[in-house]
Amino acid sequence: MGLLNTGHDQTNQQKDIGTALKNGKEILFQGFNWESHKYNWWENLESKVGEIAKAGFTSVWLPPPTHSFSPQGYTPQNLYSLNTNYGSEHHLKALLAKMKQHKLRSMADIVINHRVGTTQGRGGIYNRFDGIPLSWDEHAVTSDTGGLGNRKTGAIFQGFPNIDHTQDFVRKDIIGWLRWLRHNVGFEDFRFDFAKGFSAKYVKEYIEAAKPLFCVGEYWDSCNYRGSSLDYNQDSHRQRIINWIDGTGQLSAAFDFTTKGILQEAVKGEFWRLRDGQGKPPGVMGWWPSRSVTFVDNHDTGSTQAHWPFPSDHIMEGYAYILTHPGIPTVFYDHLFEWGNSIRNQIAKLIDVRKREGIESRSSMRILEAKQNLYSAIIGDKVCMKIGSASWCPSASHTQWELATSGHNYAVWRKQ
């Protein structure tokens, strides 16, 4: 089963897991979408660093920084080349330097589940990496994806040679590369792509060796559906994510795909979904909030791919939920910079309330209402919020509340 909810965060604090996970004050910004490679992206972001820092973010997740077969960066080949469709090595380093000046951490997108070969090896497959750094042969590729290595320790990413992390030489080379990204290039945080593709114990080894300040894994599998209808109970789904976090020695957080899946159904007028059978939030956030990285959409679920999009007319209800709740919230580039000034200002106000009122990843919370058209909760005894079309405001019997910010179908109050 892995570790469950009760007392999890308190009992494991003696572990040195990096200050970022400990302080619980993280607010992440995803600094790209699926189309970003078409523009001078490092230069574009450099021009926005001041604004991103001013909004209150602590870390910016950047697209994969190294050479890739496909322009978005998710089919890596030469891991030591920093010249990509997003811009040159020079422009990347200028961006990272400017982020450091503004005390914004940079998060590298680490794609180590698969790699595109340079030459054909056994079986006529491009499963060798001759002529570039980390010039592995077929033994670096798993036997079930056309190589001479061992079988995969996780799910297969179809169509590409999958890396065999059981090989000592592979792990040694990956650690060397991660240390280079961390200490030479200057990335401080890591995001692990396609984390269900290889055992979490290797992620633990890589984190311990490269010592990033903060890590998050993309452990994405399907929620539980009956036909097209999402099940109310997603405990088995969030348990799988929690098992992965446990497998990393609790050193990495994980994207809360459970909360994402439930929240985007709830906002359609099914807010009863936002309280589980124990009265807690129904995602990873409800069981292990200090390791739950919440989000509304990303480059896969939204953007031009739109694999699993949040209803666009309810985006602000989604942000009103994740930016007032425990967990580590993430804001998507499109919503801050491409959906207009009104959305940007509303998100900025919610971040401001979160920071001012001291809401953190482990803040206590109490759900007050969770029914068809209304959800409301008190977080950290300092903030009260509601989302949904039903009108509602907090009872004034014990506490004087004042409106902090509001918008279409959401409102947030703070104690006077």
270 is catalytic: no
How far apart are the C-alpha atoms of 260 and 223, rounded to whole Å?
10
**What are the two backbone dihedrals, phi and then psi, of residue 180, each rounded to the nearest 5 degrees?**
-65, -45
Contact 348, 320 (CB under 8 A): no
In this structure, which amino acid lies at residue 13? Q
CA atoms lying within 13 Å on the CB side of residue 376: 19
How far apart are the C-alpha atoms of 256 and 259, rounded to whole Å?
6
CA 128 from chain center: how many Å? 31
Neighbours of 36 (CB within 10 A): 23
How far apart are the C-alpha atoms of 61 and 333, rounded to whole Å?
10
Question: Mapping DSSP to helix (H, G, I), strand (E, B) and coil, where does residue 67 land?
Answer: coil
Of 46, 164, 218, 334, the catalytic one is 218
Cα distances from 410 to residues 109, 151, 179, 405, in angstroms, run 33, 49, 44, 9
265 is catalytic: no
How far apart are the C-alpha atoms of 29 and 296, rounded to whole Å?
12
Which residue blocks in 277-384 are alpha helix, DSSP H? 284-287, 315-322, 333-337, 341-356
Residue written as token pair 């340079």: 118
Give the alpha-carbon dihedral of 324, 328, 334, 335, to 10 degrees: 0
Of 193, 205, 276, 334, the catalytic one is 193
Catalytic residues: 193, 218
